Amino acid sequence: MENNYNTNDELEQYLKDEADGHKMYPSEHVWENIRTEIHGNPSWHALTFIAIAVILTLTVSTLYNYPPKTIIIKTNTIVQKLDNVVTDAAPEMDGSVKNESLEQQINPNNYTAVTLAAINDRNNIDAYIATTEDLVNQKRVAIPTDIVEQTRSSVNNVPAPVSKAMLFAEGSIFSDEIQPDINELSITENTTVNLTSKKSKYENLTQRKLTGSSDENIADTYLNDFAFEQKKHGMKPTGIELQFYFTPSTSYRKLEEDKSRLNFTSPTALSLSSTATANVNNSVHHTPALGIEVGAGVLYNLTSNFKVKTGLQFNIRQYNIDATQSFGMATIAFVQNNRLDSVSIFSMFGNTGANGYYSTTIDNKLYQVSIPIGFQWDFLQGKKLGLSASASIQPTFTLNKNVYMISTDYKYYANGAPFIRKWNFNSSIDLNLTYKTGNVKWYFGPQVRYQHLPTYNDVYPIKEYRLDYGFKIGITTPIFK
């Protein structure tokens, strides 16, 4: 760079030139913050529109359907059925009137006793309509006795596969609550819909009978209706629950060394004597690191507070190794088939006691998938809060091989891939505070997880067992059918 200033002023000019030529580009979030500060948060107009539309729709539909029209509709249906009674009766006297209205059919020249009777019936029907509407307004519905009797007889004629007991079973439209005297039914605010539904079935049966449906069809239809009735009462818990959880945890490890190699005369130049009496736990510097478990499971209720469970879980377990950056051959001595053997692996990391270029930290990390199988005991259940404990054993498969093991002379850390144990067993226990919100139950509590088999296979003489302390956060929600 050319610096050509000779006076004080030139220094200032030089600095000014350098500063003016300097540019830096701000992060995008700076503009986002400025825009938000000036114009506010961007709004999605479609969302507003949809929200207004939904509110309007709900409001209009609520107003339109209030008071509920179900009763009125069904009342009209009853009248329709009664019309049919009349028109069905007419063909016996005069087939030409079958499909025409009563008023059109009445011919003054054909006044007969039957016709007069029909008119009288119609008058009765008109009176009935008025009465029915009044009763409906008073939340009481009258059902003509003859229809009730017809229905009773149709029920009595139901063929063998459908027993009367079934039809009068609890929940049936002919159950005792309406059976004793169907002529007059009280409709309360709470039972309006159900009663309407039952009345509708009742009318359907009546209509089918009147229109000549066979008893067998009536029975089939009723069974279908009955089945439908059961579905309407659905959303019963299946006794199965889904569980989702994650558990941040801290991994610790314990090392145990098998020194059976010392019983053999070394055929190699292994410096075994230096570690003969040393404790491996004192020779390494490991620090716990944060791991996590994430999983989903299925719980089956054996009793109201005891459940068995299984699922799938992903684990990350790790700890840090204090090491040095150095190069050398890590020799692992081991006993196999009753003879001493060794393997040498090139290493880039030395133990802290060894000479190294500079300190470093190795991340000894395991990725695992496991299948927890266990139980959960909700031993204290309040309305909202509760306590639960669970335990599981977990067949575990190790996915990665990013692990480091100490050499026999404790001087180097080598890639532990050749010795890794792919399948392992863990067990886990946890104690949770539970909190229920609707159908979802939240779980919060401490968890301990222990690895039963050493991380490496039986050939590697230093046995590593891992122990995780975690805090479980999860939810369960029941499955309905």
Interface residue list for other proteins (CB under 8 A): 1-8, 10-12, 15-16, 18-27, 30-31, 33-35, 37-39
Nearer to other proteins, 16 or 254 (CB): 16
Least distance to other proteins, CB of residue 453, Å: 48
What's the length of the chain? Answer: 481
Least distance to other proteins, CB of residue 36, Å: 10
DSSP 437-455: ETTEEEEEEEEEEEE-S-S
Least distance to other proteins, CB of residue 51, Å: 25
Nearer to other proteins, 27 or 190 (CB): 27
Nearer to other proteins, 23 or 45 (CB): 23
Least distance to other proteins, CB of residue 32, Å: 10
Nearer to other proteins, 26 or 438 (CB): 26
Residue type, 230: Q
Q: What angle do CA 222, 70, 131 make, to 5 degrees?
A: 95
SS3 assignment, position 27: coil
Nearer to other proteins, 12 or 134 (CB): 12
* Closest by CA position to 473, among listed 428, 416, 435, 439: 435
Nearer to other proteins, 34 or 54 (CB): 34
Confirm if 345 and 328 have CB atoms less than 8 A apart: no
Least distance to other proteins, CB of residue 45, Å: 16
Integer-rounded Cα Rg, in Å, for the chain is 42
Least distance to other proteins, CB of residue 17, Å: 9
SS3 assignment, position 376: strand
Reading the block at residue 385, the tokens are 């809060």
Least distance to other proteins, CB of residue 402, Å: 33
Nearer to other proteins, 15 or 130 (CB): 15
Confirm if 206 and 82 have CB atoms less than 8 A apart: no
Phi and psi at residue 176, in whole multiples of 5°? Answer: -60, -25
Phi and psi at residue 381, in whole multiples of 5°? Answer: -130, 115
Nearer to other proteins, 3 or 62 (CB): 3
* Closest by CA position to 105, among listed 87, 85, 128, 117: 87
Confirm if 148 and 173 have CB atoms less than 8 A apart: no
Rounded to 10°, the helix 70-89/113-137 angle is 170
DSSP 274-316: GGSS--HHHH--EEEEEEEEEEEEEEEESSSSEEEEEEEEEEE
Nearer to other proteins, 29 or 339 (CB): 29
Least distance to other proteins, CB of residue 47, Å: 20
In angstroms, the CA 257 to CA 421 distance is 17
Nearer to other proteins, 10 or 126 (CB): 10
Reading the block at residue 461, the tokens are 């003489």
Least distance to other proteins, CB of residue 360, Å: 23
Least distance to other proteins, CB of residue 43, Å: 14
| Element (DSSP H or E) covering residue 323 | strand 306-336
Bridge partners of residue 332, in order along the sequence: 343
In angstroms, the CA 421 to CA 409 distance is 22
* Closest by CA position to 446, among listed 463, 431, 428, 467: 431
Nearer to other proteins, 23 or 339 (CB): 23
Least distance to other proteins, CB of residue 19, Å: 5
